């Protein structure tokens, strides 16, 4: 599964010629400046690709892979490059396949409750287009406004709607895939049920570009909920907030979103924007979306408000229209920029634990933090499905990076110990590949490696992702 010595293969000028013949001159980026733009992704690593190709058709993707396969050149499919675990960084050089030109919504079939799209369609664009037919594509990663459906399928993206609606894999019916050798296969059917043969579709969903490259994606849609209401509740203790979340579900309520924000995040938000009216004693926030038929949303929203109040909320605000809802969600959206304001460096973790273990993992993280007094931790995330984003922040990129990594190491160990997973929704990429054995025992991992070997024997597809590999190039920075 090792690429042959990369130094012997074609260099940028020769590669550019070949790519131009396949995708046309205007769809090839070969200057150093252009290649630098494609050298990094949301993980903030930087590895220079030899060339960037922007295919427009399945056939072009197939030709590129045929060529790359013959010449042992690594290929990195890339959506918006917003992934946080390095899924799109060209760690071994080679060809970046940028899908920004394959961004057509090919069909929306309201009667079939399906849509077929190219991988470069931005997720929110799909959501908006199907909404015109009163249809709903539920997976909603925080990046939906800019990340692409191809990237979402590759990473099996989750997001805020996971508790009620599941994740990307629950909405993918069929895929057109170009394999490592350039051959084109079709998995699944455009039907709501199908059990003919093994479930290849879901084997490819979440495979992070390491098994094949998606060129068409058929998604399942559901009717658009009639209405959405939002509640923002402030609590004096995290325990009250977590207990509220549990009691909501225990009372037969499945909110569309059930988001948790901890004290550190709140402090950052307050410092970032003093306009937010957050009561002084607030140590935890819950942000809750309820959707469905109007009559039922009203009932559920008041039931939730009752539970919130019973659990000693300091204050609760309800928003019924989209303007008011947006205002409440501003608090949640402010977290990311706010965190950068207090420390220039952060590692954004993505653990997920069984919901009964949320308080326990938060306590363990606090304990671990005590051993790293120079670092600051802020936790927020999708408490409804146990998916917490743990942000370890540090001020000095050189001296404190190792410290932050040590802390992450301890947090991931604690997570797995509690029955959790080291990646709820961000994927593994190369950023977390060293931690995979913590969660996946050798035999299961070997099965995965064997499947990789079966589908990509030369290892040209997104090499050094998911599985550890030691022959990466040195990063640029």
Judged by CB under 8 A, the stretch of 49-57, 280-288, 293-301, 337-345 that binds a second copy is 293-301
Distance CA 108, CA 303 (A): 36
115 close to 134: Cβ distance less than 8 angstroms: no
Judged by CB under 8 A, does residue 107 bind a second copy? no
Judged by CB under 8 A, the stretch of 3-11, 75-83, 318-326, 424-432 that binds a second copy is 424-432
Judged by CB under 8 A, the stretch of 43-51, 107-115, 123-131, 390-398 that binds a second copy is 107-115
* Count of residues that interact with a second copy, criterion CB under 8 A: 87
Q: Is 33 exposed, middle or buried (0-12, 13-18, 19+ CB in 10 A)?
A: exposed
Q: Which one of residues 56, 105, 254, 342 is an interface residue with a second copy (CB under 8 A)?
A: 254
The 223-242 contact track toward a second copy, x by CB under 8 A, reads: xx-x----------------
Q: Which one of residues 46, 105, 448, 468 is an interface residue with a second copy (CB under 8 A)?
A: 448
Q: Which one of residues 5, 7, 26, 198 is an interface residue with a second copy (CB under 8 A)?
A: 198
Judged by CB under 8 A, does residue 356 bind a second copy? yes
Q: Can you spell out the DSSP letters for 369-427? A: HHT-TT-EEEEEEEGGGTEEEEEEEES-TTTTHHHHHHHHHHHHHHHHHTT-BS-SSS-
Q: Which of 340, 412, 57, 436 is closest to 216 using CA atoms?
A: 57
Judged by CB under 8 A, does residue 166 bind a second copy? yes
Judged by CB under 8 A, does residue 430 bind a second copy? no
**Residue labelled with tokens 């899908």:** 99
The 125-154 contact track toward a second copy, x by CB under 8 A, reads: ---------x--------------------
Angle between helices 263-272 and 335-342 in degrees, nearest 10: 90
Q: Which one of residues 124, 246, 302, 472 is an interface residue with a second copy (CB under 8 A)?
A: 246
Judged by CB under 8 A, does residue 111 bind a second copy? yes
Q: Which of 195, 179, 177 is closest to 187 using CA atoms?
A: 177
Structure tokens at 307: 């539970």
Judged by CB under 8 A, does residue 155 bind a second copy? yes
Distance CA 99, CA 357 (A): 39
**Residue labelled with tokens 């326990």:** 360
Judged by CB under 8 A, does residue 123 bind a second copy? no
Q: Which one of residues 140, 262, 300, 349 is an interface residue with a second copy (CB under 8 A)?
A: 300
Q: Which of residues 363-402 bind a second copy (CB under 8 A)?
A: 382, 385-387
**Residue labelled with tokens 């399945």:** 58
Q: How many CA atoms lie within 13 A of 373 on its CB side?
A: 0
CB neighbour list of residue 46: distance below 8 Å, 6 or more residues apart? 36, 39, 40, 89, 475, 476, 477
Q: Strand 227-235 vs strand 257-262: parallel, antiparallel, or unpaired?
A: unpaired
Judged by CB under 8 A, does residue 302 bind a second copy? no
Give the nearest distance from C-beta 162 to a second copy in angstroms.
5
Q: Which one of residues 115, 253, 286, 288 is an interface residue with a second copy (CB under 8 A)?
A: 253
**Residue labelled with tokens 């069984």:** 354
67 close to 43: Cβ distance less than 8 angstroms: no
Of residues 369 and 423, the one with the C-beta less far from a second copy: 423
Give the nearest distance from C-beta 4 to a second copy in angstroms.
23
Of residues 46 and 299, the one with the C-beta less far from a second copy: 299
379 close to 265: Cβ distance less than 8 angstroms: yes
The 26-65 contact track toward a second copy, x by CB under 8 A, reads: ----------------------------------------
Judged by CB under 8 A, does residue 451 bind a second copy? yes
Of residues 171 and 234, the one with the C-beta less far from a second copy: 171
Judged by CB under 8 A, does residue 353 bind a second copy? yes
């Amino acid at each position: 599964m090792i690429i042959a010595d990369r130094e012997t293969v074609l260099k940028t000028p020769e590669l550019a010629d070949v790519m131009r013949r396949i995708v046309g001159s205007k769809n090839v980026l070969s200057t150093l400046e252009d290649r630098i733009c494609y050298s990094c992704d949301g993980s903030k690593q930087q590895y220079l690709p030899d060339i960037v190709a922007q295919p427009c058709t399945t056939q072009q993707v197939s030709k590129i892979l045929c060529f790359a396969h013959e010449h042992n050149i690594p290929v990195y499919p890339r959506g918006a490059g917003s992934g946080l675990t390095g899924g799109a960084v060209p760690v071994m050089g080679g060809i970046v396949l940028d899908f920004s030109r394959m961004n057509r919504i090919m069909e929306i079939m309201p009667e079939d409750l399906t849509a077929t799209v190219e991988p470069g369609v931005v997720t929110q664009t799909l959501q908006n287009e199907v909404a015109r037919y009163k249809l709903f594509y539920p997976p909603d990663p925080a990046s939906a406004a800019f990340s692409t459906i191809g990237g979402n399928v590759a990473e099996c993206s989750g997001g805020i709607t996971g508790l009620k609606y599941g994740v990307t894999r629950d909405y993918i019916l069929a895929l057109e895939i170009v394999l490592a050798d350039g051959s084109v296969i079709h998995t699944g059917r455009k039907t709501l049920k199908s059990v003919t043969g093994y479930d290849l579709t879901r084997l490819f969903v979440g495979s992070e570009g390491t098994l094949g490259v998606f060129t068409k994606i058929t998604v399942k849609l559901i009717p658009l909920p009639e209405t959405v209401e939002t509640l923002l509740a402030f609590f004096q203790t995290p325990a009250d907030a977590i207990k509220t979340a549990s009691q909501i579900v225990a009372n037969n309520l499945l909110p569309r979103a059930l988001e948790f924000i901890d004290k550190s995040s709140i402090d950052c938000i307050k410092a970032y924007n003093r306009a937010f009216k957050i009561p002084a004693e607030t140590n935890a926030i819950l942000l809750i979306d309820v959707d469905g038929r109007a009559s039922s949303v009203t009932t559920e929203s008041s039931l939730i408000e009752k539970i919130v109040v019973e659990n000693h909320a300091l204050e609760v605000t309800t928003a019924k229209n989209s303007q008011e809802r947006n205002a409440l969600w501003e608090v949640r959206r402010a977290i990311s920029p706010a965190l950068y304001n207090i420390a220039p460096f952060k590692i954004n973790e993505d653990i997920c634990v069984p919901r009964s273990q949320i308080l326990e993992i938060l306590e363990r993280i606090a304990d671990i933090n005590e051993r790293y007094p120079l670092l600051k931790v802020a936790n927020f995330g999708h408490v409804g499905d146990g998916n917490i984003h743990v942000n370890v922040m540090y001020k000095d990129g050189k001296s404190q990076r190792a410290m932050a990594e040590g802390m992450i190491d301890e947090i991931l160990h604690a997570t797995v110990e509690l029955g959790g997973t080291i990646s709820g929704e961000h994927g593994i990429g190369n950023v977390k590949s060293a931690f995979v054995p913590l969660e996946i025992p050798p035999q299961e991992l070997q099965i995965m490696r064997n499947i990789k070997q079966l589908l990509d024997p030369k290892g040209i597809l997104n090499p050094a992702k998911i599985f550890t590999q030691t022959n990466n190039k040195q990063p640029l920075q």
